[in-house]
Amino acid sequence: MSPRNAISLDPRLSAIRDMAGSCGNFADIGCDHGRLGAHMLLAGLCRRAQLTEVSDLSLGKARELFGALGLEGRARFLVGDGAGALEEPPDVAVIAGMGGRTIAGIVERGRETLARARLVMQPNVAAPELRMRLQRAGFKIVDEMIARDGRRLYVVIAAVAGRMELAPAEIEVGPVLLQRRPGALADYAAFRIRVLKKALSGVEDAELRRKMGIWEAVCGGHR
């Protein structure tokens, strides 16, 4: 077992941690192994943590880790559907490693519980749909980044309650990513273009062509 102050995180979870910042009450909705919550507590980035999963069996890995680190007294292990499992509204809520549609559904169903939280989301797919549904649900995007882990790129999005009106390109790429244009955006745009070209192989689809044009413009802006 690692020392008490040395829970290491991979680049994806490190990016999520950085975007989460510090808080009093931290929630990891769909916590999996619980490493992020344990790291947050050991690093002094939160005072207490709520960790949720869809079944008690799924919480087993997190319970085991927290038990080995002596952190059980600062955490609650909760079974249920999304934010509905939380015992109290969090200051920061992480919803990561799921599809964008799944994350959007969690936010929509848990809107009242999450209304005062900073949401940190990492969608594996369907990030544009997540942005669009955040807008409809009354949340505004305040930060975005692309985390690189080897050859894989992950989009991380932070949002708080508020209004926003996203243009089509901002829905597709991300308003903060378009504004800041980090170096990894060019690589991510190239990946999205490859995916779209494969989808367009042998077919003609106006919506896919529109998205292709957006990503090609992003690549052009990095030249």
Residue 47 sits at φ, ψ, to 5 deg, of -95, -35
Domain-located, residue 172? no
Partners of residue 159 on adjacent β-strands: 119, 141
Question: Are 60 and 155 found together in one domain?
Answer: yes
Q: What's the confidence (pLDDT) of residue 220?
A: 82
Domain endpoint, select from 116, 139, 164:
164
Domain endpoint, select from 118, 133, 164:
164
Q: What's the confidence (pLDDT) of residue 2?
A: 42
Low-confidence ranges of the chain (pLDDT < 50): 1-4
Question: Are 134 and 38 found together in one domain?
Answer: yes
Question: Are 91 and 195 found together in one domain?
Answer: no
Question: Are 128 and 160 found together in one domain?
Answer: yes
Domain endpoint, select from 115, 133, 164:
164
Is residue 155 within 8 A of residue 128, CB to CB? The reply is: no
Cα separation, 39 vs 33, whole angstroms: 12
Is residue 69 within 8 A of residue 105, CB to CB? The reply is: no
List the domain range (segments joined by +) for residue 195: 181-223
Structure tokens that stand for 197 in this block: 């070209």
Q: What's the confidence (pLDDT) of residue 5?
A: 52
Pairing of strands 48-53, 25-29: parallel
Question: Are 205 and 133 found together in one domain?
Answer: no
Q: What's the confidence (pLDDT) of residue 1?
A: 38
Q: How far is CA 92 from the centre of its chain?
A: 12
Question: Are 89 and 188 found together in one domain?
Answer: no
**Tally of domains in the chain:** 2
Q: Tens of pLDDT along 36-69?
A: 999 999 999 999 999 999 999 999 999 999 999 9
Question: Are 143 and 222 found together in one domain?
Answer: no
